[in-house]
Chains A and B, each alone.
Chain A
Amino acid sequence: MAVELLKGNVALAEAAIRAGVEAYFGYPITPQTELLEHMAQRMPELGRAFIQAESELASINMVYGAACAGARAMTSSSSPGISLMQEGFSYIAGSEVPAVVVDVMRGGPGLGNIQPSQSDYFQVTRSAGHGDFHAIVLAPASVQEAIDLMVLAFDLADKYRHLVFVVADGLLGQMMEPAELPPMRPLRAERPDWALTGAQGREPRIITSLELDAPALEEVNKRLQAKLRVIEEHEQRYAEQMVEDARLVVVGYGTAGRIAQTAVKQARREGMRVGLFRPISLWPFPERRLSRLADRVDAFLVVEMNAGQMLDDVRLAAGGQVPVDFYGRTGGMVPVPEEIYQAIETLYAKLPGSLS
């Protein structure tokens, strides 16, 4: 495979195709629509299922149906559409079928705007639907990483029979970068042994999230929670730079993490011992590594394109050992490196023993 210039949304779509997605159901919404458009062209070409649904609600329930049939299925949307899909997320989690959802986040709340944002952190990591569950959430910071995580998303969904989000923002969805697509994987030849295929020569299978008997539903919840603990144990992902001797570590994911990298490098040039920690899995949050860093750094600075959502997770990981400061922009405003640099400089000056 060769490196080519790819738009984020298109790269996400083509990576899903190469990962073996058999069915895509979606509804147009800016800034993710190019993903749907790419699927509209490519899926029928390959003899795979594509439907432009009547709503995001219908999209996610079509995904649910295709997932119950044992097919690799996905949808994509942006923040308001993701809100509408919450019903389906909960049913998918409750009945333990694999599904992949791309959220190209935009400014909110309400109809908000179509500018890049990270306003859905709470929604995707905390409240993706009613009931006790977390989805797996992967957050790329480049077009190449979007491709790689898209493929991983399908593998994790199948491995754990669980809902997986790939969350980007409007900037990552819209920008073009050189990247390399993976080779085309063959579609799975056989359906999994739990899938609904028609009860040919076997007992009928049932997929449901309904259990009226409270003790039995508690058992379902215990099983689901045990699975989530396994995911927490094995799937924490992050990238870090210059943290070895850092007194201050900037924590940011996706686009915010990438912009923060420029600010961190500038701070290093100015002689400040600053590092960058970039969560790649937002759930499970990479708290093990972050709490180890909390043992030896003097402070964290969380940078997000929202009013402070991942901030809660960083505070939990820091466990009150060190101060956790925050710099964020909202409403679709994207911070420039200089703003973050100034936030770093201000906080660094307050660290114990600093000259200020």
Chain B
Amino acid sequence: MVAAETVMEEQVVYARPESLRDVPTHYCPGCTHGIAHRLVAEVLDELGVRERTIGVSPVGCAVFAYKYFNTDGCEAAHGRAPAMATGLKRVNPGAVVFTYQGDGDLAAIGTAEIIHAAARGENITTIFINNAIYGMTGGQMAPTTLPGQYTKSSPSGRDVEVAGFPMRMAELVGSLPGAAYVSRRALHNVKEINKAKKAIRTAFKVQLAGLGFAMVELLSACPTNWGLSAPEAMQWIEDVMVPYYPLGDTKVADGVDALMKER
């Protein structure tokens, strides 16, 4: 009798976070932007900050992120999200301000803005989607495209003699004294997704605690422009991206480790 009543009780095990709007996204099948959006939204819900959050969208595939997050939002020029977020945060220190940027946006055209936002210890959070390619423009070489990787603008594979080497942004940004917390995580399996969420949570808690700049780089899949099926793309992250882009924290400043231990 008791057992039967327990079975009848409704238990919600999966629902849309309040910080995500109930709208379809424009992302391709197998793209991990949806996972990244959800993780950010779950963290905003759990920290109870949705109503004081302002998101800054990039130019790139996530250009419409402001239509998906159920928060105040704006659209930056290509690469300038950290500068725009700086302006928003400095006149609104009580707000939770985050940028959501791809690899072309953050590591090519916006390199100066991200480096200097981190160097200033700007109290914002950056979610950096590294999928090793320009998605929105249809698959050109990114600053994070791997050596030998075929793209539409490296049709014979990225030749490092000509196009140089991919940039490890988590290490670069993590080396700056103003950066409080920098981590690289991946979105290709459940275990890594859970770790990614923890890192995103820490990155927002760093902002709430006023400890400085925080960034989480997320190794992400672009099956459409990689020319792979969705399962193959997940495997490619594991086999090809992770060896070049090691997972883990590249910067944990004083005071951040205590935040990471909190539940």
Taking Cβ atoms with an 8 Å cutoff, the residues of A that contact B are 22-23, 25, 49, 51, 53-55, 57-59, 61-69, 71, 73, 87-88, 91, 95, 196-201, 204-210
Q: Considering only CB atoms, which chain A residue lies closest to B90 in the complex?
A: A49
- CB pair A55 B112 closer than 8 Å: yes
Complex formed: what's the CA distance from A95 to B74 in Å? 10
Complex formed: what's the CA distance from A200 to B80 in Å? 26
- CB pair B72 A196 closer than 8 Å: yes
Residue-wise, chain B 66-81 has the 8 Å CB interface mask toward A (1 for contact) of 1101111111110010
Complex formed: what's the CA distance from A87 to B80 in Å? 10
Set of chain A residues within 8 Å of B52, measured between Cβ atoms: 198, 200
The answer to whether B131 has its CB under 8 Å from any CB of chain A is no
Set of chain A residues within 8 Å of B91, measured between Cβ atoms: 22-23, 49, 66, 69, 71, 73
Known: A54-B116, A207-B74, A207-B75. A66 touches B87 (CB 8 A): yes
Complex formed: what's the CA distance from A58 to B63 in Å? 19
The answer to whether B170 has its CB under 8 Å from any CB of chain A is no
Partner of B72, one of A22, A51, A55, A204: A204
- CB pair A67 B112 closer than 8 Å: no
- CB pair A204 B116 closer than 8 Å: no
The answer to whether B171 has its CB under 8 Å from any CB of chain A is no
Set of chain A residues within 8 Å of B74, measured between Cβ atoms: 65, 68, 95, 196, 206-208
Ranked 3 nearest A-B pairs via Cβ: A65-B87, A198-B52, A61-B83
- CB pair B112 A199 closer than 8 Å: no
Set of chain A residues within 8 Å of B51, measured between Cβ atoms: 198-201
Set of chain B residues within 8 Å of A205, measured between Cβ atoms: 72-73
105-158 of chain B: CB within 8 A of chain A: 112-113, 115-116, 120
Besides A66-B87, A207-B73, 13 more A-B contacts (Cβ < 8 Å) are: A54-B115, A57-B80, A58-B86, A64-B77, A69-B92, A87-B80, A196-B88, A198-B53, A198-B92, A198-B95, A200-B51, A204-B69, A206-B72
Residue-wise, chain B 38-67 has the 8 Å CB interface mask toward A (1 for contact) of 000000000000111110110000011011
B21 to chain A, nearest CB (A): 8
Partner of B116, one of A58, A64, A198: A58
- CB pair A58 B72 closer than 8 Å: no
Q: Considering only CB atoms, which chain A residue lies closest to B66 in the complex?
A: A206
Q: Considering only CB atoms, which chain A residue lies closest to B51 in the complex?
A: A200
Set of chain B residues within 8 Å of A201, measured between Cβ atoms: 51
The answer to whether B85 has its CB under 8 Å from any CB of chain A is yes
Q: Considering only CB atoms, which chain A residue lies closest to B80 in the complex?
A: A61
A interface majority secondary structure = mixed
Of the A-B pairs whose beta carbons lie under 8 Å apart in the complex, a sample of 15, sorted by A's number, is A51-B86, A51-B90, A54-B115, A54-B116, A57-B83, A57-B113, A61-B84, A66-B88, A68-B84, A69-B87, A73-B87, A87-B77, A200-B51, A204-B73, A206-B73
B203 to chain A, nearest CB (A): 18
- CB pair B80 A197 closer than 8 Å: no
A289 to chain B, nearest CB (A): 38
Set of chain A residues within 8 Å of B75, measured between Cβ atoms: 95, 206-210
Complex formed: what's the CA distance from A57 to B90 in Å? 17
Set of chain A residues within 8 Å of B73, measured between Cβ atoms: 196, 204-207
- CB pair B88 A199 closer than 8 Å: no
- CB pair A199 B80 closer than 8 Å: no
Place the interface of chain B in its size category. 35 or more
The answer to whether B96 has its CB under 8 Å from any CB of chain A is yes
Known: A54-B112, A58-B80, A88-B77. A64 touches B92 (CB 8 A): no
Set of chain A residues within 8 Å of B83, measured between Cβ atoms: 53, 57-59, 61-62, 64-65
Complex formed: what's the CA distance from A69 to B73 in Å? 10
Partner of B85, one of A25, A65, A67, A88: A65
Complex formed: what's the CA distance from A57 to B80 in Å? 8
B27 to chain A, nearest CB (A): 15
A183 to chain B, nearest CB (A): 23
Set of chain B residues within 8 Å of A63, measured between Cβ atoms: 87
- CB pair B88 A58 closer than 8 Å: no
Set of chain B residues within 8 Å of A49, measured between Cβ atoms: 90-91
Complex formed: what's the CA distance from A53 to B83 in Å? 9
B32 to chain A, nearest CB (A): 23
- CB pair B71 A204 closer than 8 Å: yes
Complex formed: what's the CA distance from A99 to B161 in Å? 45
- CB pair B116 A197 closer than 8 Å: no
B138 to chain A, nearest CB (A): 16
A45 to chain B, nearest CB (A): 16
- CB pair B80 A198 closer than 8 Å: no
Complex formed: what's the CA distance from A201 to B72 in Å? 12
Known: A200-B51, A200-B52. A66 touches B90 (CB 8 A): yes
Complex formed: what's the CA distance from A196 to B115 in Å? 25
A239 to chain B, nearest CB (A): 35
Set of chain A residues within 8 Å of B96, measured between Cβ atoms: 198
- CB pair A198 B71 closer than 8 Å: yes
Complex formed: what's the CA distance from A55 to B111 in Å? 12
